[in-house]
Structure 1
Amino acid sequence: MSLVLANCNLIDCVTEGVRPNSTVTVDNGRILSVRTGGESAPPDGATSDEIIDLAGAYLLPGLWDVHIHPEYPNPPGTTVPQLTAWFGQNLMRGLTEAGVTSVRCAGAGHFMDVAWKRAFEDPSGPAGPTVYACGHFLTTTGGHFLTSGHALECDGPYGFVEAIRNQIKNGVDHIKLNLSGGIMGPFWDRHLDSFLLPQEIEAAFTLCHQRSIPVMAHATNPVAVKAAILLGANSVEHGYDMDEDCITGFLEYGTWYVPTLGITHLTPSQADNEWERSYCERKALAPDLVRRAEAAVDQHRSWFQTALEAGVKMALGSDVLPLRDSALLELGLWVKDGATPWQALTAATRNAAELCGVGSDVGTLEPGKRADMIAVAANPLNDIQNLRQLQVVFKNGRLVADHRF
């Protein structure tokens, strides 16, 4: 069955700008045609029940968040079924309330992400985003973010090898390796410290390359970032502190950078709009974690700006919750730190799809692409916050949310 979206302002995330008076036709979940200019009448033969008049709304690809986790921390006594249900609800609300049509997980205990990936792939199942799953993230004993419930502690080359093989057996799409510490952790978990021994890192990367599975590398200091790039990571997450050799490495090796600005930027003293203030109030970070975030923010911002100016390949991931807010908050931070709305928007659509290896299938509005689309009331290229004026969401060409009335 065909679906015709008439009378829209098209942002295809291929060519910068808006294409007014556009009509997009979808058939069997894929974009069949895009017509622009002149009358925005639907194609000949289309029946009225197959036509949605978008009345000048801005149609663009669905948003991505390529660094997510399930909820944490959790109340004492919370069960795995409860956690799994909450994660699914979070994913579904991200789709219908924010237009996040695809996500890449950065760590989920009990393979919750694999479970929901399979549920959403079932045509008879619930509507949810496309999920790229990683299962647990792999760290060392005394490693990063152990309190999350999503970490798996490994030691020695064969400890990592065994864990990676088990992850693959359980159906993950990529492997998340934590090469260093972070902002949000106890005294032993600091972002300037690297955790893995050389032989552990090399064994892990060797096996991942042998099995042709991408590596998502948590790397937060120059030593860890350069190790991840040189060993062939698909992406580097965070990069709070880097150096010029890191930037050179990104460009030389074509490694993706996912900066997750929210981790250092979203503190009460830095929040300067209603959405950021609301997030900080709900999050209620401990004073020590606020100090650690703010101590790192200037370097983080500077290296984000340097990478952006240098032309490093970058995609948008938030590392914050819930998904109905995460990508929107991160998009705002990108623009606040100097990205144009176009750069931020393509990072959350086209670039994110390319990072996940599916850029030829989704992430832009072109004939033949999967019809993951959203429409908003006002132009996000004028103000990125206009993405919050969500009107409709389409997943695989199916209308899954309508906020127009």
Structure 2
Amino acid sequence: MRTLLTHATLIDCVDPQARPDCAVLLEDGRIRDIFPAGSAPAVGDAEVVDLKGAYLLPGLWDVHIHPDYFQSLTDMPLPEQVTLFGHRLQQALLESGIVGLRCAGAHHYMDVAWKRAFDSGQHLGPRLFAAGHFLTTTGGHFLTSGHALEVDGPYGWVTAIREQIKNGVDHIKLNLSGGIMGPAWDLHRHSFLLPDELKAAFDICKLREFKVMAHATNPAAVKAAILAGAHSIEHGYILDDECIELFLEHDAWYVPTLSISHLTPGQASNDWEKRWVKNRNLAQSLCCRADAASDVHQHGFIKALKAGVKMALGSDIRPLKDAALLELGLWVRDGATPWQALVAATRNGAAICGMGEQLGTVEKGKIADLIVVGANPLEDINNVRRLQLVLKDGRIVADKRGTAR
């Protein structure tokens, strides 16, 4: 199958400049060639899609997601939860152009099940990277989510990690500290693991060659995780100068999840944020905790951004079709340029998942997971919402040109 996209304004997420009137040839699910203005090839048997100047860019990634939270299976039985998760994943692809997602915790390995279904072609959906359960200690983080497993002692951690591996996960999610969203004893300034537990958990991951996605929210937890070999630090609500130095020295990734500390009634700054906050209806006590953490979180985010720490975009909120778009807006609101935010949600999203050679930019030879939007996201990052087309493996899977603004 060959498709020629003509009259595209190309944002390839390699060069920070938009290139007008390009043509892109797709063949067998990949980008066969890219032609500058005025040099489109003979059509041949290719289907021609005239983009009429719209903006062609890589599909978006959200590298910190969870299924919807239910406190017990009596609230929603497991089959319905699994089905709902699949629906949310498909919505993210088809309605928002989120082509890749990395899970940060899901009970009963529902993320593994959907990953296999999507990868096999059994169902249409985004590229999904599975974590299985997120692992924490007894009395650890976010136990009411249903996605946490409480484990204790060095061999408790080793056993739990081996179970995740056996059940087909792509990476291991370790919760090393508390969070903002939790009961009074679940605080983001607290670390949870004892040194022998931390060592055992990371040792078995190294032996089995599994990357660690580390929930680490305070300087002590961040430093311990990086020194132990974490692939990525999630949240990092409090970062000091030594944290930044260690990120750079160890080439670790940072996924700041600004949405957790920034989306409260007092901080919502546009209609999308206000609508999400109203629907979320977060308890006042948790809003207060988020508000109290917000400025310090922003400070660490800016410090990491200016220092050149590798950063990818992850939201940690739901619904998935809205989450990455809200997080993109918060990146820019907190001081990133639209270019930095867009790279975090495309090129870096693919790279943190080990897919940087195949996805995340518009370059010859790469897999054609692409989106088309109606206005320039380098001028206003919220223009990614003006979605016209979504392509997966070079095939149009969503066409909104009749309704796009």
Asked if Structure 1 and Structure 2 have the same fold, meaning a TM-score greater than 0.5 normalized by the shorter chain, the answer is yes
Amino acid at match of 1:110: H
**1:106 matched residue in structure 2:** 104
Of 89, 92, 110, the residue aligned with 2:90 is: 92
The answer (yes or no) to whether the contact 1:60–1:374 under 8 Å persists in 2 is yes
The gaps in structure 2 that reach 5 residues or longer are: none
**1:395 matched residue in structure 2:** 392
**2:81 matched residue in structure 1:** 83
Secondary structure in structure 2 of the residue aligned to 1:77:
coil
**2:55 matched residue in structure 1:** 58
Runs (4 or more) in structure 1 with deviation over 6 Å come to none
Of 241, 249, 254, the residue aligned with 1:252 is: 249
**1:339 matched residue in structure 2:** 336
**1:180 matched residue in structure 2:** 177
**1:377 matched residue in structure 2:** 374
Of 343, 354, 372, the residue aligned with 2:351 is: 354
Amino acid at match of 2:84: W
Instruction: Supply the distance in 2 between the matched residues of 1:143 and 1:272 (Cα, whole angstroms).
Output: 33
Secondary structure in structure 1 of the residue aligned to 2:170:
coil
**2:140 matched residue in structure 1:** 143
**1:227 matched residue in structure 2:** 224
Secondary structure in structure 2 of the residue aligned to 1:202:
helix
- How big is the shift at 1:47? 3.6
Over residues 145-200 of structure 1, what are the superposed CA-to-partner deviations in whole Å (9 max), with x where a residue is unaligned? Answer: 00001001100000010011110011100000000000000111110000011100
The answer (yes or no) to whether the contact 1:4–1:46 under 8 Å persists in 2 is no
- How big is the shift at 1:267? 0.2
The answer (yes or no) to whether the contact 2:8–2:22 under 8 Å persists in 1 is yes
1:271 aligns with 2:251: no
- How big is the shift at 1:228? 0.6
- How big is the shift at 1:352? 1.1
**2:302 matched residue in structure 1:** 305
Q: TM-score, normalised by structure 2?
A: 0.98
Over residues 266-289 of structure 1, what are the superposed CA-to-partner deviations in whole Å (9 max), with x where a residue is unaligned? Answer: 001100100000110010000110
Please show how residues 158-237 of structure 1 align to structure 2 within 5 Å.
158-237=155-234
RMSD: 1.0
Instruction: Supply the distance in 2 between the matched residues of 1:141 and 1:98 (Cα, whole angstroms).
Output: 37
Secondary structure in structure 2 of the residue aligned to 1:366:
coil
Over residues 378-403 of structure 1, what are the superposed CA-to-partner deviations in whole Å (9 max), with x where a residue is unaligned? Answer: 00000001000000000111111000
**1:27 matched residue in structure 2:** 27
Amino acid at match of 2:75: G
- How big is the shift at 1:126? 1.8
Instruction: Supply the distance in 2 between the matched residues of 1:316 and 1:73 (Cα, whole angstroms).
Output: 25
Number of positions where the alignment pairs a residue of Structure 1 with one of Structure 2: 401
The gaps in structure 1 that reach 5 residues or longer are: none
Q: CA 1:45–1:375 in structure 2 vs 1: closer, same or farther (change >3 Å)?
A: closer
Instruction: Supply the distance in 2 between the matched residues of 1:102 and 1:134 (Cα, whole angstroms).
Output: 14
Secondary structure in structure 1 of the residue aligned to 2:169:
coil
**1:16 matched residue in structure 2:** 16
Amino acid at match of 1:132: F
Secondary structure in structure 1 of the residue aligned to 2:305:
helix
Instruction: Supply the distance in 2 between the matched residues of 1:190 and 1:85 (Cα, whole angstroms).
Output: 32
Please show how residues 358-369 of structure 1 align to structure 2 within 5 Å.
358-369=355-366
Secondary structure in structure 2 of the residue aligned to 1:60:
strand
Amino acid at match of 1:11: I
Instruction: Supply the distance in 2 between the matched residues of 1:168 and 1:111 (Cα, whole angstroms).
Output: 11
Amino acid at match of 1:339: A
Secondary structure in structure 2 of the residue aligned to 1:25:
strand
Amino acid at match of 1:35: F
Secondary structure in structure 1 of the residue aligned to 2:293:
helix
- How big is the shift at 1:122? 1.4
Secondary structure in structure 2 of the residue aligned to 1:101:
strand
Instruction: Supply the distance in 2 between the matched residues of 1:305 and 1:220 (Cα, whole angstroms).
Output: 16
- How big is the shift at 1:356? 1.0
Instruction: Supply the distance in 2 between the matched residues of 1:279 and 1:386 (Cα, whole angstroms).
Output: 18
- How big is the shift at 1:64? 0.1
Q: TM-score, normalised by structure 1?
A: 0.98
The answer (yes or no) to whether the contact 2:9–2:55 under 8 Å persists in 1 is yes
Secondary structure in structure 1 of the residue aligned to 2:100:
strand
Amino acid at match of 2:26: V
Instruction: Supply the distance in 2 between the matched residues of 1:132 and 1:178 (Cα, whole angstroms).
Output: 18
- How big is the shift at 1:45? 4.1
Instruction: Supply the distance in 2 between the matched residues of 1:154 and 1:46 (Cα, whole angstroms).
Output: 60
Over residues 182-234 of structure 1, what are the superposed CA-to-partner deviations in whole Å (9 max), with x where a residue is unaligned? Answer: 00001111100000111001000001011111000000000000001100100
Over residues 8-32 of structure 1, what are the superposed CA-to-partner deviations in whole Å (9 max), with x where a residue is unaligned? Answer: 0000001111111111111111110
Over residues 7-65 of structure 1, what are the superposed CA-to-partner deviations in whole Å (9 max), with x where a residue is unaligned? Answer: 100000011111111111111111100111225x4x324346x1111111100000000
